[in-house]
Amino acid sequence: MTSILKVDSIAQSNGTTAATIASDGAITTTKTVTVTARPAFTVVGRSTSTSLTAAHANFDYINAWHTTRLNQGSLLNAGGYAEIPAGQAGLYDITWLVHGINSATHTSALLYMYDASASAYVCIVNAFAASDYSNYTTGTHLVLDVDVGDQFYAGFDDRYGVPSTESFRNMFSMYKI
């Protein structure tokens, strides 16, 4: 069963009006409404990377980024990976793009998640671009339902090409939907 509440104002029990609702639906409040910012980050450019063999024998993740454009709610850990903070489980939009630097080898974009509840690494993305031409970009864009403590590592297969360090060539971002 659905119901409709028809009111022109909302008041505190002592009678103080907290908000009024106009005929067009516009809401006016007497105080500032505070909205808690959702966790989000965007980083670009690989500075350094390190091996994470617990996830895969040939996986290197980017542990330092050239530029942090946004890190709201400390979603991006100081170690270069994302960790879902307390109270922020839910749906997240994730983008990970890698730009190759030469035609000598493949370009890879790997994304591993450390599933905190299972205490295990899970490969979320394993994307490759061919080696027949230089400067391929590969990666992913996806939405995942994640839990507090889950961690996300953006990286590459170290048997192939190392991603460019130029800030406009690689990008990793996440935000809570």
- Averaged pLDDT for residues 36-42: 90
- Reading the block at residue 52, the tokens are 């994470």
pLDDT of residue 66: 92
Tens digits of residue pLDDT in 53-110: 999 999 999 999 999 999 999 999 999 999 999 999 999 999 998 876 655 567 788 9
- What would the pLDDT profile of 113-157 be if each residue is shown by its tens digit? 999 999 999 999 888 776 666 667 788 899 999 999 999 999 988
Q: Give the torsion sign (CA, 168, 107, 97, 171).
A: negative
CA distances from 81 to 43, 101, 110, 156 (A): 10, 23, 13, 14
Q: Flag whether pLDDT at 32 surpasses 70.
A: yes
Higher pLDDT, 4 or 52: 52
Q: Which whole number is the average pLDDT over 25-53?
A: 85
Which of 95, 97, 83 is CA-nearest to residue 146? 83
pTM of the model: 0.78
**pLDDT in the model for residue 10:** 80
Mean pLDDT of 8-32: 79
Residue 160 clears pLDDT 80, i.e. is over it: no
pLDDT score recorded for residue 11: 80
Q: Which residues contact 127 (CB under 8 A, 6 or more apart)?
A: 108, 109, 110, 138, 139, 140
Place of tokens 């903070």: 85
What pLDDT is stored for residue 166 in this prediction?
A: 73
Which pLDDT belongs to residue 131? 64
Q: State the Cα angle at 86 between 85 and 91, rounded to 5°.
A: 65
Model confidence at 30: pLDDT above 90: no
CA dihedral 42, 46, 47, 49 (to 10 degrees): 110
Beta strands in 57-106 (DSSP E): 59-72, 82-83, 90-99
Domains belonging to the chain, first-starting first, are: 7-35 (no CATH), 40-176 (2.60.120.40)
Please report the pLDDT score of residue 35 as a whole number. Answer: 65
